[in-house]
Amino acid sequence: MRGRALAAAAAALAFVACAKAGDPPVGDDVDDPDASGNPDDPDARDIDAEPGIDAMPVAVTLSQNTALTITSPNTLACASSDSVAPDPDFTLENHFYRAFRLMDHGVVGQFTASRIDLGIEQAETVAGSQTIQVKLHTAAGMFPGGALTQLHTQNVVVADTAVTVMPITLSAPVVVPASSTLVLEIVGPAHATANNFFFPGSNSAGESRDSYLSATDCGVNNPVTYSSVDGTAVVHLVMTISGTAP
Question: What pLDDT tens digit does each residue of the chain (246 aa) get?
Answer: 233 333 333 334 567 776 543 444 443 433 444 444 444 444 444 444 445 556 789 999 999 999 999 999 999 999 997 655 567 899 999 999 999 999 999 999 999 999 999 999 999 999 999 999 999 999 999 999 999 999 999 999 999 999 999 999 999 999 999 999 999 999 999 999 999 999 999 999 999 999 999 999 999 999 999 999 999 999 999 999 999 998
**CB contact set of 213 (below 8 Å; sequence gap of 6+):** 76, 77, 94, 95, 96, 97, 220, 223, 224, 226, 229
- Residues 134, 198 contacting (CB under 8 angstroms): no
> CA–CA separation, 150 vs 104, rounded Å?
21
Q: Tell me, what's the pLDDT at 11?
A: 34
- Residues 23, 29 contacting (CB under 8 angstroms): no
Candidates 185, 135, 131; CA nearest to 158 is 131
DSSP assignment, residue 149?
E
Candidates 217, 215, 241; CA nearest to 75 is 215
> CA–CA separation, 240 vs 243, rounded Å?
10
Q: Tell me, what's the pLDDT at 81?
A: 77
> CA–CA separation, 79 vs 10, rounded Å?
11
